[in-house]
Structure 1
Amino acid sequence: MTAIKEATKKSMLDNVMQQFNKTADTIMLNPNIRNILSITNNEIILHFPVKMDTGEVKIFTGYRVQHNNALGPYKGGLRYHPTVDVEDAKALAMWMTWKTSLAGLPYGGAKGGIQIDPREYSIGELERITRRFTYALGENIGPEHDIPAPDVNTNEQTMAWMADTFMSTKSSSERSKNQHVVTGKPVGSGGLEGRNRSTGYGVYLTIKLLYRSRGEQLAGKKFIVQGFGNVGYWTSHFLTNDGAILLAVQDAHATIINENGIAVEDLFEHSKPRKGSIQGFDGAVEMEPAAFFGLQCDILIPAALGNQITAENAYQVKAEVVAEGANGPIDTEGEAILLQNGITIIPDIMCNSGGVIGSYFEWLQNRNGELWQLDEVMFKINKKLTEVFKKVETVVKENQTDWRTAAYILAIKRIETAYIQRGIFP
């Protein structure tokens, strides 16, 4: 039995549209702007050949969906996963538009990726696949047009290959001006100190701010994490450093638990040589995957794929707070059950926005030819996210509504204001 189920693409798009329409009705969104935001600007599907290590040529399919750029260049991750398709990318691109708007960044939203399981390919093959995909994208990406970043199964190495390939298509005098075509690069290749931990830090910080608003501390709080990749690890790292206890972890290979707490760094070291798998960790015991969401804990952090909490299992959740480390991990039916049961949901467009905020600072750093130190970067991310949290909290209290609705109201109103001020080009 697979611990993490595959997301249902149709329902992911249904989810984001239901969330959007609910907010549009609530704020009486201008109907013309509603029409614009309900569809994507561009949907790019690419088929490209790559030579494998054996000499065989395989054809791969890649996607890039650009939802909206009213506030600035398209921004969003690229994921390598067998479930990637255009419907998936459309939903994720819309979420990115709301996320960048809520964070107050000068960006729109995009998403994409390649339909592959990267574990089936060598490093050399992944490099060739990435470079060929970048070349095929051509001018559909660019530092002032569309700026990709890492996502599921992609990392700083992927971004380094993309940046190098894109810059190689430019003249020698133009190459240095295109380094910020992607973010999430290695520090030695123009990356930002702390970018790798920024998403997980944001998840941790929003949880901390929520408890602080209730007059509570994180120390002693028990949490469970689905997904122990970059986001799951760094979130757990910061939470345990603040005194919280990691009770259980689930990934695609195993579900493990230790009632006395799982040692985060030991689990991370165990997973590194196993391509991120937590299976076989001797600091915990395996448990039935289906029972994971029903564990008694304070905080549940779904940090893997979309549509993991649904009407089928939402009633099992015993946590008082669900923090969305992943994009769209709860479908609308599941959310209704959680809210009815008095569970607070920290929505993805705020909870995991530390990553895109970090990406913005990397983009600025490259654009301005600057170098920022780690403590300066983390201070900037902390300040920005704290401001966003307080704005959303104010709307929650003023409207007596849930956190997602409040976040959507702020995000969509900002885009509406931009369209009203600028008008629609005839």
Structure 2
Amino acid sequence: MILSKAQSKGGLLKNVKQQFNKAADLMNLDQGVRKILQINNNEIVVHFPVRMDNGEIEIFKGFRVQHNNALGPYKGGLRYHETIDMDASSALASWMTWKTSLARLPFGGAKGGVQFNPALYSQAEVERVTRRFTYAMGDNIGPEYDIPAPDVNTTPQTMAWIADTYMSTKGPDERAKSQHIVTGKPVGAGGLEGRDRATGFGVVVNIKEWANYTGQSLVGKRFIVQGFGKVGYWAAHYLSKEGAIMVGVQDESASLYTEDGIDVETLFNYSRANNFSIAGFSGAMHIADEDFFALNCDICIPAALGNQITIENAHLIKASLIAEGANGPVDPEADEILIERGITIIPDILCNSGGVIGSYFEWLQNRNGELWGVDMVLNKLENYIIDSYRRVMTRAEEYKTDARSAAYIEAIARIEVAYKQMGIFP
């Protein structure tokens, strides 16, 4: 399938470095700060044994890259995927640094995961992998030091296992103080109401701001979504409520299209009953995977893995807006092609920042012993994202540049100020 093939090409680390350097040149970033931000603070690799259901021992490899914590504790997801490695973790960790800074959160950036496909293991085995990985990480994570969250193939249940394992290693008086070791937990285990939809909801808030900024209506706009998981579904859900029409969807199992529009909730219910696969859905026709990005639409939401839009397919895109629900779905070469073609891109560190903003809310809720309702969460989330969007547009006008470079400039500038004001010890 296209999803896995494009991801396997790698290059995420190269991409994020190119994007950083472009912004750093434009803003004439302090050379000392530039050197600091070009490297990771810490790179952690752990190997740990896990007993399988059949009694055999299997060795797993886990990663955690802590890019920068000038603005606060490291923050970033954990993914369970065969492609996760040090380079991918480094790219994603640095993206988290820019994302948290852009959103004006008191966090830095980190990322990591375990190199395996959880679909090939039983739930009991995945739980043991999760708990052993948490134990192997030890004090390299902590509620005031490095706070993991869900990412590809990890869930609220995964976070609950991590929280329970971490809290179990602490003394009785410390356990209750450690609930915010992870975010993205189930609501019953200290999670945030609305966290499941925060990223997808944030994507749509950005799209609405784009429509307001350009004087357009979303009613009748045709959109396609790549990936129909946590981000893709909620983005489609909220965008359809604005009167937009979903005409195409792609996941690892199939690519669907219908000119008349696909009902979001009908497809979601089918997917949920079909092991979260859209293959075989009768409400749309199945098309070739390579034709997906060439579909006639107004808005394209890549919400799967990285490097999906490349030099090979950028010229096929008909959408006038690309809203990056995934991290790094457009590579730098494709970026230039799209900009030249006049296609607007809402960059990942802005567009999908709803997830980490929601994580911040959950972290605060746990830390302060509070409970927030979903309406309060979404209202606060919308305010944060609108503020970020408008600051990025101001930077774009100031530097006469594209939204991605403007978002990087806004994010990097905040960190540059922190280093200049705090200095470097000793």
TM-score normalized by the length of structure 1:
0.98
The match for 2:68 is 68
Between the two proteins, the alignment pairs up a number of residues equal to 426
SS of residue paired to 2:61: strand
Q: In structure 1, give the amino acid aligned to 2:260.
A: N
The match for 1:56 is 56
Q: Whole-Å Cα distance in 1 between the matches of residues 197 and 82 of structure 2?
A: 25
The match for 2:102 is 102
Judge which range, 62-71 or 22-31, deviates more: 22-31
Contact 1:191 1:362 in 2 (8 A): yes
The match for 1:213 is 213
1:12-411, aligned counterparts within 5 Å?
A: 12-411=12-411
Q: Whole-Å Cα distance in 1 between the matches of residues 379 and 206 of structure 2?
A: 15
Q: Whole-Å Cα distance in 1 between the matches of residues 331 and 218 of structure 2?
A: 27
SS of residue paired to 2:395: helix
Q: Whole-Å Cα distance in 2 between the matches of residues 194 and 292 of structure 1?
A: 30
Contact 1:9 1:88 in 2 (8 A): no
Give 1:368 shift. Answer: 0.3
Give 1:56 shift. Answer: 1.2
Give 1:4 shift. Answer: 4.6
Q: Whole-Å Cα distance in 2 between the matches of residues 290 and 214 of structure 1?
A: 31
Q: In structure 1, give the amino acid aligned to 2:62.
A: G
Give 1:276 shift. Answer: 1.8
Contact 2:67 2:110 in 1 (8 A): yes
Q: Give CA-to-partner distance per residue, 1:322-351, whole Å, 9 cap, x none.
A: 010000001100100000000000000000
Q: In structure 2, give the amino acid aligned to 1:332.
A: P
Gap change, CA 1:178 and 1:383, over 3 Å in 2: same
Give 1:55 shift. Answer: 1.0
Contact 2:3 2:305 in 1 (8 A): no
Gap change, CA 1:54 and 1:274, over 3 Å in 2: farther
Contact 2:3 2:304 in 1 (8 A): no
Contact 1:2 1:253 in 2 (8 A): no
Q: Whole-Å Cα distance in 2 between the matches of residues 27 and 259 of structure 1?
A: 44
Q: Whole-Å Cα distance in 1 between the matches of residues 138 and 231 of structure 2?
A: 30
Q: Whole-Å Cα distance in 1 between the matches of residues 25 and 59 of structure 2?
A: 44
Q: Whole-Å Cα distance in 2 between the matches of residues 236 and 179 of structure 1?
A: 32
Give 1:400 shift. Answer: 2.3
Judge which range, 9-18 or 338-347, deviates more: 9-18
Unmatched 5+ residue regions in structure 2? none
Q: Whole-Å Cα distance in 1 between the matches of residues 374 and 323 of structure 2?
A: 25
Give 1:273 shift. Answer: 3.4
Give 1:213 shift. Answer: 1.0
Q: Where do 4+ consecutive residues of structure 1 move more than 6 Å?
A: none
Q: In structure 1, give the amino acid aligned to 2:109.
A: G
Give 1:10 shift. Answer: 4.9
Q: Give CA-to-partner distance per residue, 1:246-300, whole Å, 9 cap, x none.
A: 0111111110112111111111111123332111111111101001111110001
Q: Whole-Å Cα distance in 2 between the matches of residues 256 and 4 of structure 1?
A: 17
Contact 2:26 2:399 in 1 (8 A): no
SS of residue paired to 2:11: helix
Q: In structure 1, give the amino acid aligned to 2:37.
A: L
Q: In structure 2, give the amino acid aligned to 1:390.
A: R
The match for 2:415 is 415
Q: Whole-Å Cα distance in 1 between the matches of residues 167 and 41 of structure 2?
A: 25
Q: Whole-Å Cα distance in 1 between the matches of residues 87 and 2 of structure 2?
A: 23
TM-score normalized by the length of structure 2:
0.98
Q: Whole-Å Cα distance in 1 between the matches of residues 267 and 148 of structure 2?
A: 30
Q: In structure 2, give the amino acid aligned to 1:366.
A: N
Give 1:241 shift. Answer: 1.1
SS of residue paired to 1:371: coil
SS of residue paired to 1:7: helix
Q: Whole-Å Cα distance in 2 between the matches of residues 310 and 2 of structure 1?
A: 12
Q: Whole-Å Cα distance in 2 between the matches of residues 102 and 111 of structure 1?
A: 17
Give 1:5 shift. Answer: 2.6
Q: In structure 2, give the amino acid aligned to 1:404.
A: R
Gap change, CA 1:422 and 1:142, over 3 Å in 2: same
Q: Give CA-to-partner distance per residue, 1:364-410, whole Å, 9 cap, x none.
A: 00000000111111111011111111111112223221100110110
Give 1:3 shift. Answer: 4.9
Contact 1:225 1:303 in 2 (8 A): yes
SS of residue paired to 1:88: helix
